[in-house]
Every structure is written in structure tokens, then in C-alpha cells.
């Protein structure tokens, strides 16, 4: 799919810079051509992630998510796509298949609208897989050849790491983010996510093409966060699962320069 770094993409980049500095940094470390693909996808993530939180009315939140599902359906069906600073550049970089992958990604975010806890581990795993996991599938495969199973294992690990960092805010908003929030439960979940991360990395060079690799830089903090959650699970509740600025910069530089993730 073609990618053009026009005013729409610049607007997407500005949105990501304001709302998602981690992914903004990762995208800025990618080649310019890759940024033109990644910024619209990351801007979609910003818009979808905040849609359930900008209103107290569940019906309005449902309508906001449905708006994005309708836009993705237009892309998937190849019909006339609505004019929008995020949707328009998305239509240039998404295949019909990847638009369908992102429809699942939007649909699963309905959980954010309500206050019901996850039903069981399968429900939690599906939420992480179809939110963060699907975003990695779409962003990597929009850039190049990448194995979906590897992307989903990697995405699960990154998703859990990001979830741990978000827990204090989720609890402040009245959500029940974990099935087992005890130190033992946190440690077990972090260990499970680390195991998936290691499996994803096992054959990384064969499974992820060089063209697709910049999409995985967005998960550059996951390994550190998950290991901290295993060693000191109390840091999840205290909201201190973030490394210092220098460690972040060096870690991202190493990830990009080494080609590993």
C-alpha cells in the first residue's frame, strides 16, 4: 500500500506526540517511509483508546467506537471512504484484511466503557490479544512480511506491560483491571507474558522481515517492565513501572540499532 507523508499524516503525528509519547518516540526512530504508515495507525489507537473515556454516557461511547468500525468497514470493502485526518491516510496503508483485523481491535475496546470485571483468564487474554496484539499485527504487516503468531505473542507481552503501567489510573476510574491483583497474581501474569515474549523472540529474524521490524520498536520497554513486575510486583499498584529517561533513550537506541526487539 502507498504511504505519503502529507498534512494528514503530520496531524496524526502531532496527535500521537501529545497522547502517546512512547509510540511517538518509536515511530520517530523508524525510517521516514515507515513513519507515514505508523503514525495513522498510532493515531487510530489514540482515538479508539480515548473514545470510551470522554463521556459518562455508555451509549455515546458505543457510538464513538461504532464510528471507527464503520470507517474501517469502508476501507475493507473498498467503497468511498469518509474524509478524516486519520481515516484518509489509513485508507492508503491498510489492506482489506488488515482493516478487518483492526475492526476486531476496536470491538474489544467496548470493555473500557463499562465497569464489569473480566470474566476469566480467557476473557482477559482475548482483550489483550485483540487490542495490543491486533495493533501490532496491523502495523507490522502494513510495513512488510511478518508472522502473525509471533506478532500476537509479542503483542500480548507488550499489552500486559502497558496494562500494568495503566492500572493505577484504571482503578481511579472505577475499573477492575486484574483477575488477581495480589503480588502473587501480578508476578504470575508478568511471568506468563515474559514467556510469550521469549517465544516470540526465538526465531525473530526468520519471522519478521526487516521492513516490518520498525513496528515492533513500540514495545521496547516491555521486557524491562515485565521483569520489574516479576521482581517487585508492588510497583504495579504504586505506579512506578517506568524506567528513568536516560534508560528509556538508551534502550530505544539499542532496540533500533541492533534490529532486535
Cell numbers for 126, please give them.
482475548
pLDDT of residue 91: 97
Could you list the mean pLDDT of each consecutive 10-residue stretch along the chain, which spans 261 residues?
Answer: 81 98 95 96 97 93 97 95 97 97 97 95 98 98 97 98 96 95 97 96 84 95 96 95 82 79 74
pLDDT of residue 2: 54
Residue 204's closest CA among 249, 258, 248? 258
Contact 78, 1 (CB under 8 A): no
Exposure pattern of 229-260 as b/e (b: 16+ CB <10 Å)? Answer: bbeebebbbeeebeeeeeebeeebeebbeeee
Q: Structure pTM?
A: 0.94
Q: Write the CA distances from 252 to 202, 213, 239, integer angstroms.
A: 20, 13, 21
Rounded distance between C-alpha atoms, residue 182 and residue 202, angstroms: 30
Rounded distance between C-alpha atoms, residue 254 and residue 261, angstroms: 9
Q: What is the DSSP letter of 237?
A: H
pLDDT of residue 79: 86
Q: Dmax over Cα atoms in the chain, in whole Å?
A: 52
Residue with cell 471507527: 68
Rounded distance between C-alpha atoms, residue 179 and residue 182, angstroms: 9
185's enclosing H/E stretch is helix 183-202
Beta bridge partners of 208: 146
Residue 215's closest CA among 155, 172, 171, 161? 155
Amino acid at each position: 500500500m502507498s504511504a505519503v507523508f502529507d498534512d494528514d499524516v503530520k496531524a496524526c503525528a502531532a496527535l500521537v506526540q501529545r497522547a502517546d509519547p512512547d509510540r511517538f518516540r518509536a515511530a520517530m526512530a523508524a525510517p521516514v517511509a515507515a513513519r507515514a504508515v505508523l503514525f495513522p495507525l498510532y493515531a487510530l489507537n489514540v482515538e479508539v483508546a480515548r473514545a470510551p473515556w470522554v463521556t459518562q454516557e455508555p451509549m455515546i461511547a458505543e457510538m464513538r467506537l461504532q464510528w471507527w468500525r464503520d470507517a474501517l468497514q469502508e476501507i475493507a470493502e473498498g467503497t468511498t471512504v469518509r474524509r478524516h485526518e486519520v481515516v484518509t491516510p489509513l485508507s492508503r496503508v491498510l489492506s482489506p484484511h488488515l482493516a478487518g483485523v483492526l475492526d476486531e481491535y476496536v470491538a474489544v475496546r467496548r470493555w473500557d466503557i463499562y465497569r464489569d470485571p473480566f470474566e476469566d483468564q480467557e476473557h482477559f487474554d482475548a482483550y489483550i490479544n485483540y487490542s495490543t496484539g491486533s495493533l501490532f499485527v496491523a502495523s507490522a504487516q502494513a510495513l512488510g512480511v511478518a508472522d502473525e503468531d509471533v506478532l500476537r505473542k509479542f503483542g500480548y507481552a507488550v499489552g500486559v506491560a502497558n496494562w500494568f503501567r495503566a492500572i493505577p489510573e484504571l482503578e481511579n476510574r472505577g475499573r477492575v483491571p486484574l483477575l488477581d491483583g495480589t503480588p502473587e497474581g501480578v508476578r504470575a501474569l508478568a511471568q506468563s507474558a515474559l514467556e510469550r515474549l521469549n517465544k516470540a523472540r526465538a526465531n525473530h529474524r526468520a519471522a519478521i522481515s526487516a521492513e516490518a521490524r520498525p513496528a515492533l520498536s513500540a514495545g521496547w520497554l516491555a521486557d524491562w517492565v515485565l521483569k520489574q513486575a516479576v521482581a517487585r510486583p508492588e510497583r504495579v499498584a504504586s505506579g512506578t513501572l517506568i524506567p528513568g529517561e536516560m534508560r528509556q533513550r538508551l534502550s530505544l537506541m539499542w532496540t533500533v540499532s541492533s534490529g532486535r526487539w
